[in-house]
Amino acid sequence: MDVSLGQGGRKALKHLQWRPDIDGLRAVAVSSVVFFHAFPRQLGGGYIGVDIFFVISGFLISSIIFHNLKKKTFSFPDFYARRIRRIFPALILVMGSCYALGWHTLLTGEYEQLGKGIAGGAGFISNFVSWSNSGYFDRAAELNPLLHLWSLSIEEQFYIIWPLVLWFAWKHRINVLLVTLGVALASFIFNLNMIQKDVVAAFYSPLTRFWEILAGVALAYYMLQKGFMAEAELPLANKNRITGCVNNVLSFAGAILLILGVFLLDEDSAFPGYWAVLPVAGSVLIIAAGQKAWLNKYVLSHKVIVWIGLISYPLYLWHWPLLVFPRIIEGDEPGWPLRASAVALAVLLAWLTYRFVEIPVRTSTGAHRYTRGLSAVMILVAALGLTTFFYQGIPTRTLAQKTAEISAAHRDHSSREPSFEDGFLDLGGVTFDGKSTDAVLFLGDSLMAHYFSRVEYLYSDTAELPLFSATFAPRSGCRPVPKGATINSEGRQCDEYYASVIKLAEAPQYKRIALSASWEYVFSERTYNPTGRALLADLLKLREMGKEIYFISMAPFSRELSPDLLARDVRLAHLAGQDKTIEGDHAINRNKVDFLKKPAGVLMQKMANSIGAMIIDPLATLCSDTKCPYVKDGVPLYVDAHHIRASVTRTSATYIDALVETLSPPVGTKAAGADTQETDWKATTPRGDG
C-alpha cells in the first residue's frame, strides 16, 4: 500500500526533515501483513498492518495538502499527478505480471475472477469487488491474486473526496480540525453499527474505514497548526516542553497497542469495530512521539527497517500474488518452505521494482509525460481485465480447454437459500407449496444446500411423485446449532438465523425436520458438550410437539475428492509442456471415508437414540462396499472436498427421497396449480395445469 511521500512530495515539503522512523513504522505495517498472510497461525492479528498504513497515509499525504494550502500553492492537478506517478507504475507491473502468469496457470473461473480483480484494481474499486464476491462458494474470488488491492482502493477513494473537502473548508475558513474529527466520529460510529449487522460490509466499506485515515489527518493538522511541522526534527512532546521521558512513554504505549493487536486478534475477530482502535491509536502515538523517542530513533530508524519501509508499497503489491499462485497450483495450502520462499521472492521483486521502476519515474524530468502515459496504460489494463471477465476467463486458452470439466465442477453447486436481512427470514423461492397438510423443513449449512437440486427435481413433473410441501432453509457457513460452531464470518448472524429457523420449525405444518451439516465440527469431543446440549434441548422440544427428526450424515469428504487436486496435475503438466487431461474413473477407499466419518457418527447416533431421531446415511447410495467414486468417465463428481455437484445430487441423492415421498397427500382433489413461489427460477418445469 502506498503511504510514501515520494520525491515529489519531499520536494513540496523542503522545509520538512525526513522522518526515518515513519518509514520504520511502514516496515512494521507491511511485515505484519506479509507474515500474517504467509503464516496466519503464528501471527493471527497481522492484518492490522493495513490499519497502520491508513494512519500513516493520512498523516503524510495530508501534510502535503496542509502545507500547500497554507502557502496557497495547492493544485488538484499537481496533487493527483503525483499520486499517479507514485501508485501506477508498480501497480501496473504487478497486475500485468499476474495476468501473464494466470494465462498459463488459471482455470476459466479463476481467470475470469482475475480479470474482474484487474478491472477493480485499475479502477480503484477492489473493495467493492471483494465485497460482492464474499459468498460462501466464491472460491475463485478468495484465491484472486489481486484480492489485497481492496485496501489501496479505500485509500484512493478517500483521496478522491478528501482534498476537495479540505480545500473547501480552508477556503471558507471552516475549522478543519472540527470537520476532520466530525467526519471521523461519524465513520467510527458507522463502523460500530455495521460490525453488528454485516462483518463483510464493515470490513470492505470505505465508510467504516475512513476514520482510520482521518486519525492521521487530524494529527498532521494539529502538528501543523502548533508549529510542529516547521521543525519536524522536534517531537510533539518536546514542543510542548514535556520531558523526553514522556516521548518514550508515548512511543512505547503505541508499540504495546500494536503488539496487543497482533497477538490478541485473529481471523475470527469482529474487525474493524472497536478492535481497530488498537492499531490506529498505537500508530498515532508512535508518530506523535517524534523521531527522537528512543524506540523511534534506535529501532524504527534502523537502516534495515527503514529499507523495508522504503520498499513497503511494492512489497505489499507483490507478496499476495506470490503466496496465492502456489496455493492455486497445489490445490491446497503449500508447506512453510514454499511460503517462506514466496516471501523472500516478494522482497527481491519489491526492491527491484523500487530501484528500477519507482525511482526512475519519480525522479524523471518528464513528469507530465509520465502522468499521461501511465494513465493511458492503466485504462488499457482495465479494459483488458473487463474483456477477460466478460469473456468468462477466455475458455479458448489451452489450459482452459484441458480443464473444462474441472471448471464446470467448480461452478456446479446449489446455492438456493432463503434471504435473511435484519432478522427477517424470506422464504420466497425456497418453499415448495404442494398444498399438502404436512410439510418437511430442510435445515443446515452448505451440506444441506447441495441437496436443493434433488428436492427441486422431486417436485418437478419428471419425478412423477405425489405433490408435497417443503421449505428449504439452509444457510451456507452456519451449522444448525445454537451459539457456536459456525464457519461463517458472520457469527452473530448465524446465531440469529438459527433462532429464526428453529422458531419456524415449531410451525404446525412442519411434520418432519431434516438436518444436514458439517457434522465433524458439531459432533466432536471438543464441541459436543457445549453445542450438543443446546441442540438436544431444541430437538427434544420439537419431538414433544410430535415432529419427526432426521439427521442426514455427511456424504464422503476428503481432500482427495476435490477437483483442485485433479487440476494440479494438469496445471503442472501444462507448465512442463506436457499434454494431460482428466480421464477415466477415480475413487477413494471406502475404509478411509468410514474412518473420517466415524467420530462424528458415534456422537450423532448417541443423540439420535436419545431423542428418537432417524439417521440417513448417503454412503449406502454413493459408495460401494470398497470404494467411493469421485470421477466418472473423466467428469468430477464433487465441487470441492465436501460438496457434491448439483447435477450429481439431482440424479443420485435418492437417499433423501423418503423424506417427501410419504408425506400426506394434498388437501382436496385439485392437484394442479402448485408452485414454488419463485418467478425467475427456470431450472425445471414446475407443476402446473399441464
pLDDT tens digits, one per residue of 116-166 = 999 999 999 999 999 988 755 555 556 889 999 999 999 999 999 999 999
Q: Is there a contact between 224 and 63 (Cβ–Cβ < 8 Å)? A: yes
Query: If you ran DSSP here, which 8-state letter would residue 123 be given?
Result: T
Per-residue DSSP letters for 89-128? HHHHHHHHHHHHHHHHH--HHHHHHHHHHHHHHHTT-HHH
Say how many residues make up the chain: 690
Q: Which of 3-17, 51-65, 407-421, 576-590 has the highest mean pLDDT?
A: 51-65
Calculate helix-pair angle for 210-225, 150-171, nearest 10 degrees: 40
One-letter amino acid of 103: W
Rounded to an integer, what is the distance from CA 412 to the centroid of its chain? 21
Cα(552)–Cα(44) distance, rounded to whole angstroms?
A: 35
Q: Is 179 helix (H, G, I), strand (E, B) or coil?
A: helix
Lowest pLDDT segment from 78-82, 237-241, 481-485, 670-674 = 670-674
Cα(285)–Cα(289) distance, rounded to whole angstroms?
A: 6
* pLDDT of 199 over the 60 cut: yes
pLDDT tens digits, one per residue of 585-613 = 999 999 999 998 888 888 889 889 999 99
Determine the pLDDT at residue 526: 64
Per-residue DSSP letters for 185-223? HHHHHHHHHHHHH-HHHHHH-GGGTHHHHHHHHHHHHHH
Q: Is 31 helix (H, G, I), strand (E, B) or coil?
A: helix
pLDDT tens digits, one per residue of 425-441 = 677 667 888 777 789 99
Reply yes or no: is the peptide bond before residue 629 cis, omega within 30 of 0. no
**Residue 72, C-beta contacts closer than 8 angstroms, at least 6 positions apart:** none
Single out the residue of 190, 249, 238 nearest to residue 214, CA to CA. 190
- Number of Cβ within 10 Å of residue 75's Cβ equals 9
Cα(120)–Cα(130) distance, rounded to whole angstroms?
A: 9
- Which carries the bigger pLDDT value, residue 133 or residue 654? 654
One-letter amino acid of 190: F
Reported as a pLDDT band with limits 50, 70 and 90, residue 352 is very high
For 565, the enclosing helix (H) or strand (E) is helix 563-575
Assign domain 415-557+589-621+646-661 to its CATH architecture.
Answer: 3-Layer(aba) Sandwich (3.40)
Q: Is 520 helix (H, G, I), strand (E, B) or coil?
A: helix
Determine the pLDDT at residue 536: 86
- Helix (DSSP H) and strand (DSSP E) numbers for the chain: 32, 11
What distances in angstroms separate CA 231 from CA 19, 51, 213, 250, 291, one per listed residue? 11, 27, 23, 19, 12
pLDDT tens digits, one per residue of 506-551 = 999 999 999 999 888 777 766 566 677 788 889 999 999 999 999 9
Question: How is the chain split into domains, by residue range?
Answer: 6-391, 415-557+589-621+646-661
Determine the pLDDT at residue 583: 86
